[in-house]
Amino acid sequence: MLNKKTADLVKATQQLYQINKKPQKRYMGFEYQAQSWQAPQWVIVKIEVNHRGTNVRYIVTDMRGYRNSHVYEKGYCTRGNAELRIKDQKLYLHSDRSSCTSFKANQFRLFMQSAAYVLINTLKQTALQGTRFANTTIKTIRLKVLKTAAWVKEMLTKIKIELPKAFAYIEEQNSVFQYFATG
For residue 131, CA distances in Å to 145, 174, 182 come to: 11, 12, 18
Domain contains 19 = yes
Residues contacting residue 130 through CB under 8 Å, at least 6 positions apart: none
| Same domain (yes/no): 153, 99 | yes
Instruction: Tell me the pLDDT tens digit for each residue of 89-140.
Output: 888 888 877 788 899 998 998 899 889 889 888 888 888 998 899 888 888 9
In this structure, the answer to whether residues 18 and 75 fall within a common structural domain is: yes
In the prediction, which pLDDT does 53 show? Answer: 93
- Work out how many domains the chain is built from and give that number: 2
pLDDT digits over 152-180, tens only? 999 999 999 888 888 888 888 888 888 88
Look at 141 and 85; give whichever has higher pLDDT. Answer: 141
Of 83, 111, 133, which marks where a domain is finished?
83
Say what the pLDDT of residue 175 is. 86
**Residue 183: what pLDDT?**
63
Q: Domain residues for 176?
A: 93-182
pLDDT at 16 > cutoff 90: yes
Q: Note whether residue 176 is domain-resident.
A: yes
Q: Based on the domain organization, do 11 and 78 belong to the same domain?
A: yes
Domain identity same for 98 and 171: yes
DSSP codes joined into one string, the chain:
-HHHHHHHHHHHHHHHHHHH-S-EEEEEEEEE--TT-SS-EEEEEEEEEETTEEEEEEEEES--SS-HHHIIIIIIIHHHHHHHHHHIIIIIS-TT----SSHHHHHHHHHHHHHHHHHHHHHHHTTTTTSTTTT--HHHHIIIII----EEEE-SS-EEEE--SS-TTHHHHHHHHHHHHH-
Which pTM does this prediction carry? 0.60
Mean pLDDT, range 20-49, rounded to an integer: 92
According to DSSP, the residues that pair with 46 across neighbouring strands are 27, 57
pLDDT tens-digit profile of 61-89? 888 888 889 888 888 888 877 788 888 88
User: Do 71 and 106 belong together in one domain?
Assistant: no
| Shared domain check, 115 and 71 | no
Whether residues 23 and 104 share a domain: the answer is no
Q: Is there a domain that residue 88 lies in?
A: no
